[in-house]
Chain A
Amino acid sequence: EAQVTQNPRYLITVTGKKLTVTCSQNMNHEYMSWYRQDPGLGLRQIYYSMNVEVTDKGDVPEGYKVSRKEKRNFPLILESPSPNQTSLYFCASSQGFSYEQYFGPGTRLTVT
C-alpha cells in the first residue's frame, strides 16, 4: 500500500530535549516536505527536499533541521524544542511540488 508514515504520532516532551520525528514514504517520490499546522494559521511549510541531499527552507524553518540521506526518509529534528513549537506536524511526499502531495497521518507535539 502506497503510504507516508510518521513516528511518533503523539509526543509530549520538555523544553530543550532534542527530538526527531521520522517520515518515510514507499512511493519512490523525489519531493518531500514538512509542515506545521496551528489554529488560525493554517499549514505552513517548514522545509522541503527536492531529492537526496537537497533540502531547502520553507516559510518557518527556525528551530528545525532536516536531512535527506535516503530517498524514502526525511526526518525532522528539533535540537532544542520550545513551547512555541507545540503544533500538529505533517510530512508529505510527491513526484514534485506541482503534483499531488501525499500526507502522513500527522504528529501531535506538545512541548512543556
Chain B
Amino acid sequence: RKEVEQDPGPFNVPEGATVAFNCTYSNSASQSFFWYRQDCRKEPKLLMSVYSSGNEDGRFTAQLNRASQYISLLIRDSKLSDSATYLCVVGRNNRLAFGKGNQVVVIP
C-alpha cells in the first residue's frame, strides 16, 4: 500500500462550484500534513498546513481525520485560477511522502 494515496482525477469543476477531495495515508505515526499546489510541472508551493482542529484560508478548508487516516481539501467558489494539481504531503521521521496529486480543472 502506498504511503499517501490520492485519486488523480481530473476533477472538472464549473466555475463558482465547490470541489472536495481526500487523501489517505497509511502510517498512523505520521506527524505533519500539508497541501501543496503545483502548476503544470512547475515547482510545488505550499497551499496550507493541516492541523487536527482543521483550518481555513479564504476559500480553502483543510481537515485532518487521524482516526480514519485521511486529510481533505475543500475549495469553495472555484476560480479559473484554481486550476492546478493539489498534492497531499505527509511527514514522518524527518521524511516527506507526496501523493500523486488531484488534478483540478475549473471550467468557465
**A interface, CB within 8 angstroms of B:** 31, 33, 35, 37, 40-45, 48, 50, 56, 58-59, 88, 90, 97-98, 100-101, 103-106
B49, closest chain A residue (CB): A100
Q: Is the interface of B mostly helix, strand, loop or mixed?
A: strand
Q: Within 8 Å CB of A37, what residues of B? A: 41
Verify if B31 is at the interface (C-beta below 8 Å from A): yes
A33-B96, A100-B46 are known contacts. Are A42 and B87 too (CB-CB below 8 A)? yes
Which of B53-61, B64-72, B74-82, B98-106 lies at the interface with chain A? Answer: B98-106
Verify if B1 is at the interface (C-beta below 8 Å from A): no
A41-B100, A43-B87, A97-B32 are known contacts. Are A48 and B95 too (CB-CB below 8 A)? yes
Expressed in whole angstroms, the Cα–Cα distance for A41 and B14 within the complex equals 28
